[in-house]
Amino acid sequence: MGFYYGMGVGVAQDYAESAKWYRMAADQGNADAEYILGTYCANGFGAEKDEAEAAKWYWKAAEQGNVDAQNKLGDCYAYGWGVETNFAEAYKWYSLAARYYGEKARLHRNK
């Protein structure tokens, strides 16, 4: 439902309603919902912009292996978005994401 309300598919687009549904899924540990909720918080979709809250949700998703969240968490630490700037942490999260992207690129190249 979060997707449908967020994109306005079959219903009127409503970021607040979308965020409500994503939060329900995120509260149950769904990594994709955690990542999207982080993006909503970072951009002020459905609620006030809150970079610290965004970083929290990115971290939860990143810990579960969500590559997009790992990359965004790297951004958070590199630029101080919602967390204190920490280049070692940024490198850690960027490196985890890069391993996936590097493997994906290697597999694509070998096709």
CA-based R_g, the chain, Å? 15
Q: What does the alpha-carbon distance between residue 20 and residue 16 come to, in Å, rounded to a whole number?
A: 6
CATH number at residue 97: 1.25.40.10
Token reading at 22: 């994503």
Q: What does the alpha-carbon distance between residue 30 and residue 10 come to, in Å, rounded to a whole number?
A: 23
Token reading at 94: 């960027």
How many other C-beta atoms lie within 10 A of the C-beta of residue 10?
Answer: 7
Give the number of domains in the chain: 1
Domain of residue 99: give its range: 2-109
Token reading at 33: 């919902």
Predicted pLDDT at 106: 44
This prediction has a pTM of 0.86
Predicted pLDDT at 102: 67
- 111 residues of the chain, pLDDT tens digit each: 988 889 899 999 989 999 999 999 999 999 999 999 999 999 999 988 999 999 999 999 999 999 999 999 999 999 999 999 999 999 999 999 988 776 654 444 444
